[in-house]
Structure 1
Amino acid sequence: MTATEPETRAPRRGPAPVQGMGMLIGLLFLVLAALELMAGVPGGSGPRVLFGVLAVSGVWTLVHLLTGAAAVFCTRSSRWAARFLVAAGVCYVVVGFAGLLPLPRAVSDVLPMNTAGICLDLAIGTAMLILGAGWLRRGPARPR
């Protein structure tokens, strides 16, 4: 190949891996929101819990529904998917750390947090940060 010939690249086939992971995470959040909305799944007489483990509320259901819808929408391009994963990952890590602090009763009534919920928020937020930041750092292939 000479210096005057344009560099040829093979066309990309299919979505980028970050788009697939973003879609998977979005669908998981949508399933979680659907389970929270189902009348028979959350049980108990006091605070609502999902499968006897995760504390849920109407606000959490709305947050999970919006997160899932945004994730599915943002998987249209790899850059959007990576940016969504970073932004949502930061939000969920912050919420997880906030759950470790003593919160006012008004906040804990609207957004109930238990140990399982805190661990889930920290874990999924960290995973989303790693996936999104790793893809943003990698970026598109550059010609040499």
Structure 2
Amino acid sequence: MTTATGTTRTPVQVAALVVGAVFLLVGVLGFIPGVTQGDIGAAGHSRALLFGVFAVSVLHNCVHLLFGVAGVLASRARGGSRLFLMAGGFVYLLLWVYGSVIHDGGPLPVNAADNWLHFALGAGMVLLAVAATAGERSRGRYPGPEQRGR
């Protein structure tokens, strides 16, 4: 993929851009009546369901929007893209643990569908970071530890 400045994005940058764009889309969709059913609350015990399945609130949607902006901005650099995917993946794995323990209550509304989605997102983001970076390293495009003097 080529950017407006004529530079080519690496696979890890494309992955961060796509993940960021999806988070932005989901964050916006969370505010649209019809796509989100029920009364949306600011945080906590919101009764709103995105696509009739995933528990959301204003805070939850804002978190998706922030992750989206972070992904799009991170996609400008290889290292930032990898960091976004790895750190974001670990954050979503922590959300999976949080949702599995809390069940109901707390600042972010979660349900079983959210928990499994958070697990899949977390694992998927970490795997994307590892796979895209490994692919770049095998083609000699991403410096490994041995090439950085570590």
| Fold similarity call, TM over 0.5 | yes
TM-score (norm 2): 0.77
Unaligned runs of 5+ in 1: 1-12
Alignment of structure 1 residues 65-104 onto 2, 5 Å? 65-102=65-102
Number of residue pairs the alignment of both structures matches: 127
Alpha-carbon RMSD across the aligned residues, in angstroms, is: 2.0
**What does residue range 87-126 of structure 1 map to in structure 2 within 5 Å?**
87-102=87-102, 105=105, 107=106, 110-126=107-123
Residue equivalent to 1:38 = 32
1:22 aligns with 2:16: yes
**TM superposition score normalised by structure 1:** 0.79
Higher Cα Rg, which structure? 1
Structure 1 stretches of 4+ with a deviation exceeding 2 A read 102-105, 133-142
CA deviations on 1:6-52 (whole Å, 9 max, x unpaired) are xxxxxxx7210111111100000000011011133211367100111
What is the percentage of aligned positions where both structures have the same residue? Answer: 33
Structure 2 gaps, min length 5: 1-6, 40-45
Question: 1:116 and 1:34, CA in 2 relative to 1: closer, same or farther beyond 3 A?
Answer: same
